[in-house]
Amino acid sequence: MTGDVHPAWLPPEALRAVGSRRVLIQGGGLLVDTVRAELSRACGRFGGTVGGDGPFDLVLKLSNGRRPPDPDVFVLSRDAGVTVVRADEPAGLLYGFFHVVRLGEAAFDGAFPPRPHRPAIRRRMVQHWDNVDVHPVMGQVERGYAGGSVFWHDGALRADLSRVTAYARLLASCGVNALCVNNVNVHATEARLLTGRLGDVAAIADLLRPYGIRVHLSVSFAAPAVDLGTADPLDPRVAAWWADTTRRVYATIPDFGGYVVKADSEGQPGPFADGRSHADGANALAAALAPHGGVVHWRAFVYNHRQDWRDRGTDRARAAHDHFVPLDGAFGDNVILQVKHGPIDFQTREPVSPLIAAMPATRVAVEVQATQEYTGQQRHVCYLGPMWSEVLGFAPWGSEGPPVAGLAAGLVAVSNVGDDPFWTGHPLAQANLYAFGRLAWDPRLDPVAVLDEWIDLTFGPGATADPRLLRATLHAVMDDSWRTYERYTAPLGVGFMVRPGHHYGPDVDGYEYTPWGTYHFADRDGVGVDRTRATGTGFAGQYPPAWSRVYESVHDCPDELLLFFHHVPYGHVLHDGGTVIQHIYDTHFEGVEAVGAMRDRWSALPAGLVDPALAARVAERLDEQLRSAVEWRDQINAYFFRKSGVRDAHGRRIH
Ligand code: GCV
């Protein structure tokens, strides 16, 4: 730890390789100054030099040549003992610099021909569900598991924003270039950020700007109604209100990124109130942003959260596709439809949302949840890189078409960061934020290799006496942790089964008779949701034929999604030859064993190998993970034993 804040993946040691070199930086401007300051600091510490007459080991060059299609591109080469980063735009130089940091000594080894590096996804954004005021139920950060907000405290902008600079540096180093500073659920205080407290947003923007990060703001669709008594997007007075307000925003923050809007969703106001469509709504804000180069992230999380659980015809999974596909082509160019990666809500396992592939004439951003609302709330180790990698690699048309990563104009993560000294509550959850940025830049990266990068930077030589042992331990604990979490929680893609409200821990029927549309339909004979076209809700038909056919068939449907798409008897035989009920028992026993092994592995690390505070925090959380996994196992197994009456084939104790 430096001071009272953990340096995450940028401890001083991580810059040793660049800091011990003779460096030349050519070019000027804010971002180049950032690179210069980074290198001066690192060279001051590790004996390198910046500037002078040469010869040089590392040259960073802003060529100011033709304007490239993507300002983030850099070209890296090494020849005759000189490593060269060349970029046409300052952002490229910044990313090139951090790439060299990531490579470490390997950046100064041998020779390699010039290779362009460009991000696969243009806008790589974290969105904070931070409230300005402490919300009576949700607290300072909605679904936040890492303490308070790094921006806001008890109704005000924090007086000390030094952590924001450290945060911006971490984000830039893994490629994030956009950030939204407040919750998509916009309460009264947050609404005033737009109308009366732009200075607060500008103060944050000032700290993010040197790291190439543009600030975005969640706004209430109903904001004009405070002055006008209406927010009807087709009312010219409303259009003028958005235009004036947005002009003021840009007068205060010239590089403002744009608005994020949750409309007609879980009680937030939206265009339906005036009988208008979501295209009408989004376009009203987009028109105000367009002259300034801003975008609106319009969320597609629109569903009936007041459904009658008896109503088997309504399927929440269908809702986003049903609402938005008819509007394809009707959105302005600067509208980005922000779609959750799955059709329900950030469950441990969901199919990829069919909406992502169904809007060819609309720009789409995919939203993932780094904050672990449904994946262990940063008390459980759950490395999400493998999940996101599967989502980004999913090809909706099969081999005939591009993967999700090729369709997405943006990738958005709900942030998992707070004012906790380790940033993320669980220190190992830092890896999720890092992996988000890296996979947004290059979705083809192997998530285990990304974890390796994170381990090298965070715990490289200097940070630990035995990097090899630590690396092996971290891989053992983290590589498969998402699948382990899946094993001891809701089975076979059925989802939820969490305690309503806070969403931590098991409650199998907790949501079964509620209005939220998240049901599993377990009875004495079977479990799962029939979403087929033939006999169910028809959701499977929202996919292009390649997947629609697979999901429709109870035989072809991948096991891990079986109960998402089908209601099957407990004796249904899975692809591995076992029955559904036995699979439930087996995976729940295995999941708990795996967590026990993770805990043992961590506790076997010799004392002093990592920062004792970090070691203790991880150990304490692994204890809780084991306790919770046992609870999940016993409640799920007991529930299904009592429903089905089928005994465990291995005679284990089920309660
Ligand atoms: C910000 C889930 C969460 C809510 C969240 C919502 C959303 O339902 O439980 O806390 O609200 O998703 O994504 O808007």
**252-271: average pLDDT:** 98
By alpha-carbon position, which residue is closest to atom 8 of ligand 1? Answer: 345
pLDDT bin (cut points 50, 70, 90) of residue 620 is very high
pLDDT tens-place string over residues 367-394: 999 999 999 999 999 999 999 999 999 9
* 572-592 pLDDT tens trace: 999 999 999 999 999 999 999
HSE, side-chain direction, 13 A CA sphere, residue 298: 33
Res 69: pLDDT:
62
Q: How far is the CA of 314 from the centre of ligand 1 (A)?
A: 20
Instruction: Please report the pLDDT score of residue 176 as a whole number.
Output: 98
Closest atom of ligand 1 to CA, residue 414: 13
Residue 2 has pLDDT above 60, yes or no: no
Strands (E), 305-464: 335-340, 363-369, 410-414
Work out whether the CA dihedral 125, 261, 389, 144 comes out positive or negative: positive
- pTM of the predicted protein model: 0.98
Q: What residues does ligand 1 touch, defined as CB less than 6 Å away? A: 129, 142-143, 184-185, 262, 266, 301, 345, 373
To 10 degrees, the CA torsion angle through 323, 325, 326, 328? 130
- By most ligand atoms within 8 Å of CB, the mutation choice from 145, 182, 266 for ligand 1 is 266
Q: Separation of 477 CA from ligand 1 center, angstroms? A: 29
Quote the mean pLDDT of the chain.
Answer: 97
Q: What mean pLDDT is predicted for residues 50-71?
A: 85
Ligand 1: centre distance to CA 626 (Å): 27
Distance 143 CA to ligand 1 centre (A): 8
pLDDT at 68 over 60: no
Residue 1, pLDDT > 80, answer no
Nearest CA to ligand 1 atom 11: 185
Select from 3.40.190.10, 3.10.180.10, 3.90.1330.10, 3.40.50.2020 the CATH code of 485-529+567-644. Answer: 3.90.1330.10
> d(Cα 493, Cα 270) in Å, to the nearest integer?
31
The model's pLDDT over 84-141, given as tens digits with 9 standing for 90+, comes to 999 999 999 999 999 999 999 999 999 999 999 999 999 999 999 999 999 999 999 9
Please determine, for residue 196, whether its predicted confidence score (pLDDT) is greater than 70: yes
Atom of ligand 1 nearest to the CA of 340: 13
The per-residue pLDDT for 464 is 83
Work out which ligand 1 atom sits closest to the CA atom of 367. 13
Q: Give the position, in ligand 1's atom list, of the atom nearest the Cα of 143.
A: 10
Catalytic residue among 345, 350, 456, 530: 345
Residue-level pLDDT at 66: 63
Residue 145 has pLDDT above 90, yes or no: yes
pLDDT over 70 at 223, yes or no: yes
79, 154, 227, 266: the catalytic one is 266
Distance in Å, CA 369 to ligand 1 centroid: 10
Distance 596 CA to ligand 1 centre (A): 31
| Side chain identity at residue 93, one-letter code | L
pLDDT-based confidence at residue 463 (cuts at 50, 70, 90): confident
> How many helices (H) does the chain have, and how many strands (E)?
20, 20
- Alpha-carbon gap, residue 655 to 348, rounded angstroms: 26
What was the pLDDT predicted at 461?
Answer: 75
Nearest ligand 1 atom, CA 185: 1
Dihedral over alpha carbons 126, 132, 135, 138 (to 10 degrees)? 20
Reply yes or no on domain 123-458 having CATH 3.20.20.80: yes
Catalytic residue list contains 57: no
Catalytic: 590?
no
**Both structure tokens of 505:** 């821990």
Ligand 1 mean position, distance from CA 264 (Å):
13
pLDDT of residue 65: 63
Atom of ligand 1 at shortest range from CA of 262: 14
Residues listed for the chain: 655
As given in the structure block, the two tokens for residue 95 are 């990313």
Phi-psi region of 317 (alpha: psi -120 to 50; beta: other; left: phi over 0): alpha
Is residue 255 part of the annotated active site? The answer reads no
Q: What is the mean pLDDT of the segment spanning 384-411?
A: 97
Percent of all residues in the chain with a pLDDT value above 90, rounded to a whole number: 96
CB half-sphere exposure, 568, CA atoms < 13 A? 24
Number of the ligand 1 atom closest to the C-alpha atom of 369: 13
State in Å: Cα 131 to ligand 1 middle.
13
Angle at 521 between CA 515 and CA 527, to 5 degrees: 155
12-117 sits in which CATH class? Answer: alpha beta
Substitution site in 345, 372, 375, 503 for ligand 1 pocket (most atoms within 8 Å of beta carbon): 345
Cα–Cα distance, 279 to 273 (Å, whole number): 14
Instruction: Pull the structure tokens for residue 49.
Output: 């030099």
Q: How far does residue 277's CA lie from ligand 1's centre (Å)?
A: 22
Ligand 1: nearest atom to the Cα of 129 = 1
- CA-wise closest residue to 584 among 599, 602, 571: 571
Residue 419 dihedral angles phi and psi, to the nearest 5°: -85, 10
Which residue from 127, 137, 143 has its CB within 8 A of the most atoms of ligand 1, so it is best to mutate?
A: 143
**CA 183 to ligand 1: nearest atom:** 1
From 373, 420, 453, 486, the catalytic residue: 373
Question: If you measure from the C-alpha of residue 343 to the centroid of ligand 1, how many angstroms do you get, rounded to a whole number?
Answer: 13
Ranges of each domain in the chain: 12-117, 123-458, 485-529+567-644
Is residue 23 predicted with pLDDT exceeding 80? yes
Distance (Å) from CA 336 to ligand 1 centroid: 19
CA of 262 to the centre of ligand 1 (A): 10
Nearest C-alpha to atom 12 of ligand 1 is from which residue? 345
Atom 3 of ligand 1, residue of closest alpha carbon: 143
Q: DSSP of 264-297, one letter per residue?
A: SSTT---GGGGT--HHHHHHHHHHHHGGGT-EEE
Share of the chain above pLDDT 70, in %: 99
